[in-house]
Amino acid sequence: MEINIGLADVIRISPMIAIFIASLLPITTKVLSGNKEPNNLVTLIQGIAGLIIGLVLLTVVGGSGELAFSKSLVFDSVTLWMGSLAILSATGAIIMMYENYATNGRQFAELIFLALNSVVGMLILVSAMDLLTLFVGLELMSLALYLMIGMSHEEKYSKEAAFKYFLLGSFASAIFLYGTAFVFGTTGSTNLITFMQEASSLVQSNRLFLFGISFVILGFCFKVSIAPFHAWTPDVYQGAPTPHTAFMATAVKVVSFAAFLRVIATKSLVGSEGLFDVLQWLAVITMIVGNVGAIVQTNLKRVLAYSSISNSGYILIGVITAGVSDAGFFGASSVIFYLFSYCLMTLGSFAIVSILEKSENHMVTLDNLKGLASRRPVYAFCFSLFLLSLAGMPPSIGFFGKFYLFNAAVGEGLIWLAVWGVINTVISVYYYLKPIVYMYMSDGDAEIAGHNLNATTVTMIVSAVFITVLGVMSGPIFSAVEKSFIN
Amino acid sequence: MLLSTVILLPLVFAVFIAFWPQQRTLRHLALGFSLIEFFISLMILNQFDPGSARLQLVEKFTWIERFGIQYFVGIDGISLWLVLLTTFITPIIILGSWKSIDSKVKGFHACLFLLQTAMIGTFLAMDAILFYVFWELSLIPMYFMVGIWGGARRIYATIKFFIFTMAGSVLMLVAIIYMMYLTQQATGVMSSSLLEFYKVKIPFVAGTFMNQQTLLFFAFALAFAIKVPIWPVHTWLPDAHVEAPTPGSVILAGVMLKMGTYCFLRWVIPLFPDATEYWAWLFLSLGVIGIIYGALVAMIQPDIKKLVAYSSVSHMGYIILGLFVLNQYGITGGIYQMLNHGVSTGALFLLIGMIYERTHSREISKYGGLAGVLPIFTIFFFIITLSSIAVPLTNGFIGEYLILLGTFKAAPVYAYFAVTGVVLGAAYMLWMFKRVFFGEKGELVKDEHHPLHDLNLREIVVMAPLLVLVFWMGLFPNHFLNWTKSSVDHLVNNKNKYYLEIHETKVAKGYEYGN
């Protein structure tokens, strides 16, 4: 096998290189200055600068549809949109890390190093066309995350969460690799492009290939917390420092779904009725488990964790639609738009949780929200906006995200999935309204944490503005996403 | 631009009020704004051509090109008076809540204006997605209104209200999306315009449930039935009414319930004519059950507000009956009854709010002999009671009479049962009136430490326009019905192939119907 790596390849991965170099800056500074923690703000700015340079480079090199590194990486619309979304979410998350009790202060340089490397892993993941490259991206992203969670200043839950996440994540990776081995065994290649054409017939004719591709899909189901592989999510989301939870719930989920889309785009679902049915049921079960699970939670982070699970269910509807449709780009665009709206809402919600945390050991419960509206109207208003948007109330962006998603499903004849989706929306309204009840309709002495929270507040307000403005103006964005596929 | 102004101006007012720095002048500002809105909405009458059944004052812009979604608003005889009812009742609510809302005044008025935008938008939207946006948007301010300023069980009531209404409307969203695809199949272009929807012939098979038109019909009808509310999905209403603050109850009874009945007329009946005709028996029966059930349950309520809430269930049953008999009398009566119910039930809730402010109780058994203590209040209450039980010369009579007339013509069996509602309605209202206003003085009335004061000037001003309307609408129904006649005739004559055209040219001003 001949491997040619030219300058063109290197230019295409320039976003990853840029972010990787930026990640080295703070940690090198720390080592050179005798292991003394550099100024956190400087570290943060280096991190943000690296991410923004990466984003700019990605918009330049991504989206062309070209391949790199012997077809193992591709830079198409999915890479461009999902990669940008992941970088932006990560930016929001590291801004929150700077001001959260559990993550700021000592070891902040190492944290930014890990976070940026995780983003590098994400970019590999969104652009990977080869199952093994995909695995490399997945592991780079996840290994950095395990460490980040374990590094939390919070003593009790974060270690448990890190270990749980590590164990189950490794388990998922193992399943994924196992599947990859079978795929390689039957097709002689791990590259999606090589078996893209015959995948739909192979799943019918070759049991081992079906077995392999199912295991690959199951591996993703773990990563994006599709029920019944979701059990780790609430615990890990609760135990991890809030900014990391935001990071996992947004950026990690976006890129995992991007890779999921790539595997699904091989049209394996078209060939295998069984796999298609199973995935549909998984979507339904996930929505129900997420929404019903959230109702009984009192810890705000767990509520949002279950909400994140149910959202995975909604997104899976879009992924399935993209997988069975002849014009899969419509489904894929709806997934991308939904993820975009979901990231805004989730990032904003976790920013609120971070703002409410009064120490690194403080677990924010619903009771901590009582009476927030009279004391801090802006925060309460923004949080209500996030929750109503998550519940899919028009004219917020959350409604349009769901509208495009269900529209794609109905267009593909998957009406029953759309019906399950909207029924679950109603269930979810109950727990999304509950924090609003606590904030506006109960008396209490809720207060935000006392220290400087400017950067997190800005993140929150930016999300809130986007949710309202982009909701009404969602049409052009969606068309832009969809057009980028056709070109 | 007129309709957009009417829709969006309250939104601007809401934002303005949210940032208004002075607490003291807030109510005056809100009252002024709502009056401005009312006068602007009166200009619609000036530009509206009552002789035309077409869609008038149309504004149309592309909103989301990909799916053919437009910002498309227009008005015809069916929606005309409901819009005016909304703008008319808002200043009354603001003046009526002058004293009763004493906390978070700013938020309350911002909610009220947001709600106004949502309601007027629902009445005027001619694009399914735009309509859905307004329809759902109306839940949020109402949710806050009941939840923040409501009574003891307000949180239960408001969540129940929200989830019930939302549960109905989400299936409608799927139905709308499906309709968009059907339109694409029929015309080649995806569109969510209601006028395009009307052109689609949806396959219908009588006798089975699993066919396109029937399923779509029920997806839409469920959403509206919950909003109306039709028995047996009415249970959120008494809770919401009892727990809502007075202005919340007024707007709920006065306008929000009409969103449901209006949408039956705008969406369900013209879009799914075969299914409507086939399943009319179901809705007629539910309407009749609602009339009788509501009246019987109202009779035994110990709480005045709950009594009026159940009377709403009964009255809304009449409207459903009128709409589903599908003839001129019934539909005209239904539309008229929507306005009547808005006026008389709104007025009842205002009056109950006034007495509640004085005694902080709504229990009928604690009253008695009010007539001697509060003469003006008693007179007002009596007039509204007569209107509510449809005594001739009041507005209620015209509506109920037309509905019963239409029902007798189309389906007499239902009318036999429905007329009992007239008697029962008189029974529970008059019995309540007797217990509250006559007889021994109740413990609240003879409490010498807290003497009761009769209505003050503000309260009289609040009630006066409603009382005028009761008689105006009762004596001169054609002043109102002439504006809706063309649209109703058009709907009834073309109910199997309904279409709506856009009124292109404006008629010269000064045109008056009948001249």
pLDDT at A4 over 90: no
pLDDT at A78 over 60: yes
B190 CB within 8 Å of a chain A CB: no
Tokens, residue A429: 């309204």
In a domain, A33, yes or no: yes
Helix, strand, or coil (residue B83): helix
The contact set of A with B (CB < 8 A) is 374, 388, 393-395, 399, 403, 406-407, 410-411, 415, 418-419, 422-423, 425-426, 429-430, 433, 436-437, 440-441, 474-475, 478-479, 482
Residues of B in contact with A374 (CB under 8 A): 104
Q: Give the pLDDT confidence score for residue A2 in this predicted structure.
A: 63
CB A237 within 8 A of CB A248: yes
pLDDT at A35 over 90: no
Given pLDDT bands bounded at 50, 70 and 90, which one contains residue B505?
Answer: low
Q: What are phi and psi of B476, to 5 degrees?
A: -125, 65
> How many degrees, rounded to 5, is the angle at CA B75 between CA B70 and CA B81?
140
pLDDT at B446 over 80: no
In a domain, A2, yes or no: no
Q: Give the pLDDT confidence score for residue B332 in this predicted structure.
A: 92
How far apart CA B315 and CA B292 sit, in angstroms, is 10
> Residue B155: which of A374, A393, A441 has the nearest Cβ?
A441
Q: Give the pLDDT confidence score for residue B508 in this predicted structure.
A: 42
Please report, as a single letter, which amino acid is at residue A388.
Answer: L
CB A275 within 8 A of CB A204: no
A359 exposure class (CB count in 10 Å sphere: 0-12, 13-18, 19+): exposed
How far apart CA A267 and CA A261 sit, in angstroms, is 10
Q: Give the pLDDT confidence score for residue B57 in this predicted structure.
A: 86
B155 CB within 8 Å of a chain A CB: yes
pLDDT at B472 over 80: yes
How far apart CA B346 and CA A350 sit, in angstroms, is 43
Domains in chain A: how many in total?
Answer: 1
pLDDT at B445 over 80: no
Best B148, B177, B215, B216 residue to mutate vs chain A (most A CBs within 10 Å): B177
How far apart CA B169 and CA B174 sit, in angstroms, is 9
In a domain, A142, yes or no: yes
Domain interval for residue A74: 7-486
- DSSP code at position A412: T
In a domain, A176, yes or no: yes
Helix axes A232-239, A157-187, angle to 10 degrees: 140
More confident residue, A137 or B151: A137
Q: How many Å lie between the alpha carbon of B423 and the closest alpha carbon of chain A?
A: 40
Helix, strand, or coil (residue A74): strand
In chain B, the percentage of residues whose pLDDT exceeds 70 is 98
More confident residue, B199 or A5: B199
pLDDT at B278 over 60: yes
Residues of B in contact with A401 (CB under 8 A): none
What mean pLDDT is predicted for residues B313-328? 91
B71 CB within 8 Å of a chain A CB: no
pLDDT at B513 over 70: no
Residue given tokens 């709104």 in the structure block: B346
Q: Give the pLDDT confidence score for residue B295 in this predicted structure.
A: 92
Helix axes B236-243, B304-324, angle to 10 degrees: 140
Q: What is the pLDDT of residues B146-183, one digit of tens each?
A: 988 888 888 899 999 999 998 888 889 999 999 999 99
Tokens, residue A425: 């929306």
Please report, as a single letter, which amino acid is at residue B77.
Answer: G
pLDDT at B512 over 60: no
* CA-to-CA separations, A141 to A118, A247, A261, in angstroms, rounded: 4, 11, 18
Best A426, A470, A483 residue to mutate vs chain B (most B CBs within 10 Å): A426
In a domain, A315, yes or no: yes
The H or E element spanning position B324 is: helix B304-324
Residues of A in contact with B170 (CB under 8 A): 422-423, 425-426
How far apart CA A448 and CA A355 sit, in angstroms, is 6
CB contact under 8 A, A407 and B147: no
How far apart CA B306 and CA B239 sit, in angstroms, is 8
Helix, strand, or coil (residue B445): coil
Q: Give the pLDDT confidence score for residue B51 in this predicted structure.
A: 84
More confident residue, A259 or B514: A259
Helix, strand, or coil (residue A107): coil
In chain A, the percentage of residues whose pLDDT exceeds 70 is 99
What's the ipTM? 0.91
Helix axes A77-99, A108-127, angle to 10 degrees: 170
Q: What is the pLDDT of residues A336-379, one digit of tens each?
A: 999 999 999 999 999 999 988 888 888 888 888 888 888 888 89
CB A268 within 8 A of CB A206: no
Q: Give the pLDDT confidence score for residue A104 in this predicted structure.
A: 81
CB B312 within 8 A of CB B362: no
Residues of A in contact with B140 (CB under 8 A): 388, 393
Given pLDDT bands bounded at 50, 70 and 90, which one contains residue B411?
Answer: confident
Tokens, residue A78: 């999915």
In a domain, A12, yes or no: yes
Residues near A121 by beta carbon (within 8 Å), at least 6 away in sequence: A136, A137, A138, A139, A140, A141, A142, A143, A144
pLDDT at B511 over 70: no
What mean pLDDT is predicted for residues A69-93? 89
Given pLDDT bands bounded at 50, 70 and 90, which one contains residue A100?
Answer: confident
A41 exposure class (CB count in 10 Å sphere: 0-12, 13-18, 19+): exposed
How far apart CA B226 and CA A252 sit, in angstroms, is 40
Helix, strand, or coil (residue A73): strand
Q: Give the pLDDT confidence score for residue A87 in this predicted structure.
A: 94
Residue given tokens 């306005």 in the structure block: B339
How far apart CA B462 and CA B93 sit, in angstroms, is 8
Please report, as a single letter, which amino acid is at residue B76.
Answer: D
**Bridge partners, residue B60, by sequence:** B72
Tokens, residue A149: 């969670």
CB contact under 8 A, A395 and B129: no
pLDDT at B509 over 70: no
> Residue A429: which of B154, B155, B163 has the nearest Cβ?
B163
Q: Give the pLDDT confidence score for residue B362 in this predicted structure.
A: 85
In a domain, A1, yes or no: no
Q: What is the pLDDT of residues A285-338, one digit of tens each?
A: 999 999 999 999 999 999 999 999 999 999 999 999 988 877 768 888 899 999
pLDDT at B186 over 60: yes
Distance of CA A398 to the CA centre of its chain: 16
**Bridge partners, residue B59, by sequence:** B73
**Bridge partners, residue B106, by sequence:** none
How far apart CA B388 and CA B308 sit, in angstroms, is 10
**Sign of CA pseudo-dihedral B279, B281, B284, B288:** negative
A36-41: long-range pairs with CB below 8 Å, 24+: A37/A105, A37/A106, A37/A107, A37/A108, A37/A109, A38/A109, A40/A98, A40/A104, A40/A105, A40/A108, A41/A98
How far apart CA B109 and CA B491 sit, in angstroms, is 37
Please report the DSSP string for A227-264 in residue order: TTS-THHHHHHHHS-HHHHHHIIIIIHHHHHHHHHHHH
How far apart CA A248 and CA A142 sit, in angstroms, is 10
What mean pLDDT is predicted for residues B53-68? 86
CB contact under 8 A, A393 and B171: no
**What chain A residue is nearest to B164 in terms of C-alpha separation?**
A426
CB pairs under 8 A between A and B: 77
Average pLDDT, chain A: 88
Helix, strand, or coil (residue B400): helix
In a domain, A194, yes or no: yes
Most distant CA pair in chain B: distance in Å? 76
Give one word for B360, left, alpha or beta, with left for phi > 0 and alpha for psi -120 to 50. left
pLDDT at B451 over 70: yes
